Amino acid sequence: MASRRVGNRSDTVTVSTPRGAIEVVRQQWRSERAGAKWAWEWLARRQGQRQWREGSSAREAIRHATLLPPGKQPRWLLAAVAEAERAMDAQGVEPTDEPLASGEQE
């Protein structure tokens, strides 16, 4: 797997679920391949865990972090996703094609 470069990362948002508190982050990254474009991804982990679970949406990331199988999702998952997205919007981190932070972090 090609290494990634992070261009922009939101603050951590904690949402509560019946399976415990979940930390959620949205970040911008790109691979080091020539011509690679910046993409947004969501990361989530159970509070106290070290490993982040990634997903293309907040729902997928939180689903992976709470170890839910694919398929029909419980209502509390949708509530946690809405809470995380609302908190991200309040931070003002908007998805764009280019990184908002000056310089690249590795």
The 10s digit of each residue's pLDDT in 60-94 is 999 999 999 988 889 999 999 999 999 888 877 56
- Domain assignment present for residue 72? The answer is yes
- Domain assignment present for residue 105? The answer is no
- Domain assignment present for residue 95? The answer is no
Selected residue with higher pLDDT from 48 and 39 = 48
8 lies in which domain range?
A: 4-90
Other CB atoms within 10 A of residue 50 CB? 5
- Domain assignment present for residue 98? The answer is no
Q: Cβ distance 28 to 88 under 8 Å?
A: no
- Domain assignment present for residue 104? The answer is no
Q: Which two tokens stand for residue 46?
A: 């159970």
- Domain assignment present for residue 103? The answer is no
Q: pLDDT band at residue 46, thresholds of 50, 70 and 90?
A: very high
pTM for this predicted structure = 0.74
- Domain assignment present for residue 101? The answer is no
- Domain assignment present for residue 57? The answer is yes
**How many folded domains does the chain comprise?**
1
